């Protein structure tokens, strides 16, 4: 392979990290867990390589390894997820001009929005693996079957079952990656949206919200967040105006960002520590149909020093 002369098999396979991270993140919704799964997959690959095991297709070996590790992880993580305090959102994958982030994070598939990952929480570990590989990454059934250790016919049945389970809540365009032109348009709409919200113009902000808009916040019981999703447009607008007004009063600022492939922003406090991340889902008509806000400090630590701006007092 060009550019890998003199490399060991493991060194030559390092270029697959972005793909492996995207698959692992799509299955877990956690940056830290995805990084651990990728590391474990490479450790297994390195051991096999050093032992002289012939690996004809490193890419297939690693994607299979990370998929099966992900299934095992989801099986053990389900109990912890059920005990989670408040609404659950994925750990945000963020890229900004100020903080571009690791290359594997920057190449995350645009299909893995927060809303999409929340929907997939309803799936079993194997369903989630098959759905992620087939729908988000476009793998053929023979490849999917090899990765999850099932027959092709079984994988077709699993995917059909997963689609059926997601159908009541899913929207068709949720799985469509934004085209470059739409992406730029979305970023401009997000810039104006945050500008209006920070300015406190409630009526103008209402005009930018879809009638069925939903606001979902994740504080994990450690930071300020709504206990349940908010769906009334006026209440969503009031919440955003009040929250951003408080942010400005405390000397914090919003920095535009791409969050899970969608337009959004990172909230930094006066000392440049991360206080929260906001992701916007904008529909084809240019209206904001969902707002996802992550303030749980455990889900922000991978972005840098975390602020105590919105933290709740520790229980006595």
**6 pLDDT more than 60:** no
Which tokens in the block code for residue 273?
Answer: 């520590």
**47 pLDDT more than 50:** yes
Q: Of all residues in the chain, what percent are helix, strand and coil, respectively (each to 5)?
A: 50, 15, 35
Give me the mean pLDDT over the 239-262 stretch.
90
What letter does residue 223 receive in the DSSP assignment? B
Rounded CA-CA distance 160/49 in Å is 37
Rounded CA-CA distance 139/19 in Å is 12
CATH number of the domain at 180-303, out of 3.30.420.40, 3.65.10.10, 1.10.10.10, 3.10.450.50?
A: 3.10.450.50
Amino acid 79: pLDDT: 66
Q: What is the pLDDT of residues 164-204, one digit of tens each?
A: 988 765 554 444 456 666 778 889 999 999 999 999 999 99
* Maximal CA-CA distance, the chain: 67
Residue 214 confidence class, pLDDT cut points 50, 70, 90: very high
Q: Which long-range contacts (CB under 8 A, 24 or more apart) does 29-35 make?
A: 29/89, 29/90, 29/91, 29/117, 29/120, 29/121, 30/90, 30/91, 31/91, 31/92, 31/93, 31/105, 31/302, 32/91, 32/302, 33/73, 33/77
**Are 65 and 41 contacting, i.e. CB atoms less than 8 angstroms apart?**
yes
Amino acid 281: pLDDT: 92
Give me the mean pLDDT over the 250-263 stretch.
91
Amino acid 97: pLDDT: 67
**239 pLDDT more than 50:** yes
**Are 112 and 26 contacting, i.e. CB atoms less than 8 angstroms apart?**
yes
**Are 143 and 133 contacting, i.e. CB atoms less than 8 angstroms apart?**
yes
Rounded CA-CA distance 25/105 in Å is 9
Residues in the chain: 316
Q: What is the pLDDT of residues 75-90, one digit of tens each?
A: 887 767 777 888 999 9
Give me the mean pLDDT over the 259-283 stretch.
93
Residue 309 confidence class, pLDDT cut points 50, 70, 90: confident
Q: What is the pLDDT of residues 127-150, one digit of tens each?
A: 999 999 998 888 999 999 999 999
**Fold classification of 9-172 (topology level):** Butyryl-CoA Dehydrogenase, subunit A; domain 3 (1.20.140)
Q: Return the percentage of the chain with pLDDT > 90, whole number.
A: 62
Rounded CA-CA distance 243/282 in Å is 20
**Are 279 and 113 contacting, i.e. CB atoms less than 8 angstroms apart?**
yes
**Are 125 and 133 contacting, i.e. CB atoms less than 8 angstroms apart?**
no
**205 sits in which H/E element:** helix 202-206
Amino acid 5: pLDDT: 41
Amino acid 112: pLDDT: 80
Q: Which residues contact 202 (CB under 8 A, 6 or more apart)?
A: 234, 237, 238, 241
Amino acid 242: pLDDT: 92
What is the pLDDT of the chain when averaged over all its residues?
A: 86
- The pTM of this model reads 0.87
Rounded CA-CA distance 226/206 in Å is 20
Domain spans, the chain:
9-172, 180-303
């Amino acid at each position: 392979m060009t550019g890998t002369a003199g490399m060991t098999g493991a060194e030559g396979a390092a270029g697959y990290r972005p793909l492996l991270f995207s698959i692992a993140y799509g299955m877990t919704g956690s940056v830290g867990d995805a990084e651990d799964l990728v590391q474990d997959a490479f450790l297994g690959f390195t051991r096999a390589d050093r032992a002289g095991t012939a690996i004809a297709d490193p890419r297939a070996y690693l994607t299979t390894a990370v998929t099966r590790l992900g299934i095992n992880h989801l099986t053990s993580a389900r109990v912890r997820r059920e005990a989670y305090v408040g609404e659950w959102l994925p750990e945000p994958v963020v890229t900004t001009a100020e903080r571009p982030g690791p290359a594997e994070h920057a190449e995350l598939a645009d299909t893995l929005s927060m809303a999409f990952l929340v929907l997939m929480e309803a799936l079993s570990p194997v369903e989630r693996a098959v759905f992620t590989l087939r729908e988000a990454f476009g793998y053929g059934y023979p490849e999917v079957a090899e990765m999850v250790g099932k027959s092709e016919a079984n994988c077709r049945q699993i995917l059909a079952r997963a689609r059926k389970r997601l159908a009541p809540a899913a929207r068709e365009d949720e799985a469509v990656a934004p085209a470059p032109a739409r992406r730029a348009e979305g970023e401009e709409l997000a810039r104006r949206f945050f500008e209006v919200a920070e300015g406190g113009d409630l009526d103008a902000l209402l005009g930018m919200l879809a009638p069925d808009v939903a606001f979902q916040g994740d504080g994990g019981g450690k930071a300020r967040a709504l206990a349940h999703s908010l769906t009334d447009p006026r209440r969503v607008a009031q919440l955003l105006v009040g929250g951003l007004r408080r942010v400005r009063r405390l000397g914090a600022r919003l920095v535009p960002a791409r969050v899970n492939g969608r337009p959004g922003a990172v909230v930094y406090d006066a000392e440049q520590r991360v206080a929260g991340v906001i992701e916007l889902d904008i529909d084809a008509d240019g209206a904001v149909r969902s707002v996802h806000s992550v303030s749980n400090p455990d889900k922000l630590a991978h972005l840098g020093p975390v602020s105590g701006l919105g933290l709740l007092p520790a229980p006595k």
